Structure 1
Amino acid sequence: MNIRKATPVDLNRLMEIFDAARRFMAKTGNPNQWINGYPQRELIADEISRGDCYVCENKEGKAIGTFCFVPSPDPNYARIENGAWLNDEPYHVIHRIASDGSEKGIFQACVNWCALHDSNLRADTHADNKVMQHLLEKNGFTPCGIIYVANGTPRIAYQRVI
């Protein structure tokens, strides 16, 4: 699998991948995390322009997954409840990881790639997203507490320090 920075040309395909991910989340008991068209096209376009959005390509060069890899500080992570971060060192956050469902191993490939670029990783997910919780914990992330995203809803916060 190849991972590269997303470009504006990728935007339509990334939105298709997010649509597939929303359907998967709803089907697996998580219909409330990515609602009202989240993530919006404008948000993804902005992350592409900042260089924080990445594309996962299969062997044929087709985009089958995406994620954002954002350097700290993340304002949503400034306050954590019912726990604490593992450290206060600079970190990167893995946001909006999504797959079109055509191939397995997208999450693993993304985490492996991210770990090559920073040894201190954070992520968060909705309490209903049991699939993501399992994947995070299987890949060495520790649940650290609860954070609140921009719309005020809670998320389980995770951190992995290598």
Structure 2
Amino acid sequence: MFRGAVRGDLPQILQIYAHAREAMAASGNPTQWGDNFPPQELLEEDIDSNRLFVYVVNGQLMGVFAFILGADPTYQVIEDGAWLNDALPYGTIHRLASSGKSKGVASAVIEWCLEHCQSLRADTHADNQIMQHLLEKNGFTRCGIIHVADGTPRIAYQKLALTQQRSESN
């Protein structure tokens, strides 16, 4: 089950992000989120803006992610490639993290997000091999390089909803 996160979820959400940072560091990606990303203030802002969601299985929080509909300023310029479709309205997944207690969290999140938009975008650090694998396994196409607010590069991905893929292939 998916639902909007509430402030009462913050202790569990912070634990999930701590687990994710440890897993990232253990897999060779210690710098993308460092020791304290995302900060609690950003998570509170996400909750208050209704863009932070949790994935709940049997009453347990298994995953957390920001899902944002509409243009993302960091995606306006893409280098070394192009978006699959730059005309469609899109949603973006940011800050996806799993508790590590259940398999298939990323796939479930992606499927849910695609039910709410025609096109889905995501980006990740070059060292985040796990996220790159998950995105590609779930049908995303590597589109190029974008730069986040602090100027660091990220690999940009896009996936079109099945209905959109069918109409573009006709």
Does TM, normalized by the shorter one, top 0.5?
yes
Identity of aligned residues (%): 51
Structure 2 residue 54 is matched with structure 1 residue 48? no
1:137 is aligned to 136
Partner of 1:110: 109
**Number of aligned pairs?**
160
2:146 counterpart SS class: strand
- CA distance, structure 1, for counterparts of residue 91 and residue 114 of structure 2: 10
Deviations 1:113-146 (A, max 9, x none): 1111112000000000111101101111000000
Q: Which residue of 2 aligns with 1:87?
A: 85
Unaligned 5+ residue runs, structure 2? 162-170
Q: How does 1:1-162 map to 2 (within 5 A)?
A: 2-59=1-58, 61-88=59-86, 89-162=88-161
SS at match of 1:48: helix
Instruction: Tell me the SS of whatever aligns to 2:115.
Output: helix
Gapped runs of 5+ residues in structure 1?
Answer: none
Distance in 2, matches of 1:72 and 1:142, equals: 19
In the alignment, is the contact (CA less than 8 A) between 2:21 and 2:35 conserved in 1?
no
Q: Give TM-score, length-normalised by structure 2.
A: 0.91
- 4+ runs deviating over 6 angstroms: none
SS at match of 1:38: coil
Question: Residue 46 of structure 1 aligns to a residue in which SS?
Answer: helix
TM-superposition CA deviations, 1:66-125 (whole Å, max 9, x none)? 011101211111111111111122100001000111111110110111111112000000
Q: Rg larger in 1 or in 2?
A: 2
Kindly indicate whether the alpha-carbon contact (under 8 Å) linking 2:122 and 2:157 is maintained by their aligned counterparts in 1.
Answer: yes
Q: Residues of 2 paired with 1:87 and 1:75: CA distance?
A: 16
Q: Tell me the secondary structure at the aligned position of residue 31 of structure 2.
A: coil
Q: Aligned partners of 2:70 and 2:148: how far apart in 1?
A: 15
Conserved in 1, the CA contact under 8 Å of 2:89 and 2:117? Answer: no
Amino acid in the other structure paired with 2:37: Y
